[in-house]
């Protein structure tokens, strides 16, 4: 559905994108992750046909976004970063307008349906200027969905709305994945983990990593990590014992306890417990640490930063 090949984009002498490639299959929710200035918005603007890339290609449903721009654009629903709307139109008028512009046969019913989806049907007669930030965000979403596009591109759709609504929007996005291919960008990693089938991590205009949240964990990091707290041993003695345990690759103090990383494929927990006992200590906590994207991300960004 979305194919991106070696995309480059320069603003003057500054390079915003430097050889980005990824793909999204039909029915997939793909998260575009990255710190400020990573190139997420730029990527999306190229995909939606707003601006052409300096080099490289991008296709939506097989249509090149530059050569066959109109066809590609017809397949996309887009919510830009700033959620631009016409403040002097009514909610209904606004969505109907975008429906017409995107060639919907019966624009008004389509607009009503989209408004129901984002729970704004009751406010359809209001002026856009009278909506709250969160409502506008949802209106933006309605506008992106009104023509039922195969591809939905959302640039940070959860920014600036309250937690309850964030959850709603996340659920909406996740639900979209059933019928649409969704590409959405975010800074919030938990969000990506919750919502995405796949994550593309951008940093400084390059793809730093790509995959399902799980596979990213697997391929990037070998070995589980375990948090250990020990009683009855000096920290030095405890550390020594832990490092000597079978299958342990690394052990470091971490606050009141220690973090131990096992060698690949080895569950180090029995060995850690045994080694501490043997040294005369008592394990009071032995907890596996779930790897989050946060870790992966910080790791990657850290690497890129170096």
Partner 1 sequence: MRGIGIVFRREMAAYFTSPIAYLIAAAFLLVTGLVFNTNLTLSVTQRPVNPVPNALAFFLIFFGPVLTMRLLAEEAREGTLELLLTAPINERAIVFGKFLSAWAYFTLLLLLTLVYQVILVAVARPEVGQAVSAYIGIWLYGGAVLAIGLFFSAMTDSQVLAAFLSVAALTLLYLGEQAGQIVANLDLANLIRTLTLPGHYTGSFAVGLIRFEDFVFFSGVIVVMLYVALRALEARRTGGAGWQGRGVRSLIGSALGVAFLLTVVSGVYAASANAALTLDMTESRQYSLSRETLTVLQRVKEFGQPIRITGFYSPNALTFRQLDDAIARLYEEETDGLISREYFDPNENRTYSERFNLQIDGELFVSYLDANGEVDFSTVRRVTAENSQERNLTNAILRLLDINRFEVAFEVGSSDIVPDDSSAAGYSGIIDGLEANGIETFGINLNQLAIDGQDVPNTVTTLMLLQMREPLSAGAVQVLDRYFARGGRAFVFADADYGASPFLSESDPFNAYLWERFGVRMRDAVVIDALSNAGTELDVLSYAVSDGSTITARLNDPENPFSRALFRVARAVQIDPEPPVQNGMVVATSPESYGETDLTLLGQSSRYAFEVSEDIAGPLNLAAWANDTRTGARLVLVGDQNFLSNGLVQNPEGNGILFTDAITWLTGFGESVIFAPQARASNLPTVFISTQDLDNIALITTLLLPGAVLLLGVGIRWWRGRR
Ligand X SMILES: Nc1ncnc2c1ncn2[C@@H]1O[C@H](COP(=O)(O)OP(=O)(O)OP(=O)(O)O)[C@@H](O)[C@H]1O
**Binding of ligand X by 40 (CB under 6 A):** yes
- Nearest distance, CB of residue 185 and Mg ion, angstroms: 6
- Nearest distance, CB of residue 275 and ligand X, angstroms: 45
**Which residues, 6+ apart, have CB-to-CB distance to 236 below 8 Å?**
none
**Binding of Mg ion by 41 (CB under 5 A):** yes
Under 8 Å between Cβ of 181 and 27 = yes
Chain positions 4 to 23 lying near ligand X, rule: CB under 6 A, are 11, 14, 16
- Nearest distance, CB of residue 53 and ligand X, angstroms: 12
- Nearest distance, CB of residue 101 and Mg ion, angstroms: 24
User: Order of strands, edge to edge, in the sheet holding 55-60?
Assistant: 14-24, 2-11, 55-60, 63-64
Chain positions 76 to 105 lying near ligand X, rule: CB under 6 A, are 81
The maximal CA–CA distance of the chain, rounded, in angstroms, is 78
Give the three-state DSSP class for 84. coil
When the beta carbons of 81 and 197 are compared against ligand X, the nearer one is: 81
**Binding of ligand X by 186 (CB under 6 A):** no
Give the one entry of partner 1, ligand X, Mg ion, none that residue 34 binds, where binding means its C-beta sits below a cut-off of 5 to 8 angstroms depending on kind: ligand X
Q: What is the DSSP string of 13-42?
A: TEEEEEEEEEEE-TT-EEEEE--TTSSHHH
**Which residues, 6+ apart, have CB-to-CB distance to 25 below 8 Å?**
1, 181
Binding residues for partner 1, rule: CB under 8 A, are 10-13, 45, 48-52, 54, 70-71, 73-74, 76, 78, 80, 82, 84-90, 93, 97-98, 100-103, 125-127, 130, 143
**Binding of ligand X by 150 (CB under 6 A):** no
Q: What are phi and psi of 108, to 5 degrees?
A: -70, -50
When the beta carbons of 41 and 158 are compared against ligand X, the nearer one is: 41
Which residue from 152, 154, 151, 146 is spatially nearest to 97, judged by alpha carbons?
Answer: 146
Q: Which residues bind ligand X (CB under 6 A)?
A: 11, 14, 16, 34, 36-42, 81
């Amino acid at each position: 559905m979305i194919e991106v090949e070696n995309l480059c984009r320069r603003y003057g002498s500054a390079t915003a994108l430097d050889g980005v490639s990824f793909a999204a299959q039909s029915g997939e929710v793909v998260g575009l992750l990255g710190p400020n200035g990573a190139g997420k918005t730029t990527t999306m603007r190229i995909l939606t046909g707003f601006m052409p890339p300096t080099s490289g290609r991008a296709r939506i449903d097989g249509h090149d976004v530059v050569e066959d721009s109109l066809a590609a654009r017809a397949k996309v629903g887009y919510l830009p970063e700033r959620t631009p709307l016409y403040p002097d139109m009514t909610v209904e008028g606004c969505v109907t307008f975008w429906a017409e512009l995107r060639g919907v046969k019966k624009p008004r019913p389509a607009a009503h349906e989209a408004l129901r989806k984002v729970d704004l049907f009751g406010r359809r007669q209001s002026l856009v200027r009278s909506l709250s930030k969160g409502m506008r965000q949802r209106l933006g979403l309605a506008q992106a969905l009104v023509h039922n596009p195969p591809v939905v591109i959302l640039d940070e759709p959860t920014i600036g709305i309250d937690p309850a609504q964030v959850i709603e929007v996340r659920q909406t996005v996740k639900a979209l994945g059933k019928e649409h291919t969704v590409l959405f960008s975010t800074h919030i990693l938990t969000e990506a983990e919750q919502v995405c089938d796949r994550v593309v991590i951008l940093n400084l205009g390059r793809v730093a990593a790509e995959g399902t949240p799980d596979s990213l964990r697997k391929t990037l990091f070998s070995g589980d990590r375990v948090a250990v707290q020990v009683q009855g041993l000096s920290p030095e003695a405890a550390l020594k014992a832990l490092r000597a345990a079978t299958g342990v690759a690394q052990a470091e103090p971490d606050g009141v306890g220690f973090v131990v990383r096992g060698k690949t494929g080895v569950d180090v927990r029995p060995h850690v417990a045994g080694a501490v006992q043997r040294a005369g200590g008592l394990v009071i906590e032995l907890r596996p640490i779930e790897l989050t994207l946060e870790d992966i991300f910080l790791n990657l960004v850290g690497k890129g930063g170096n």
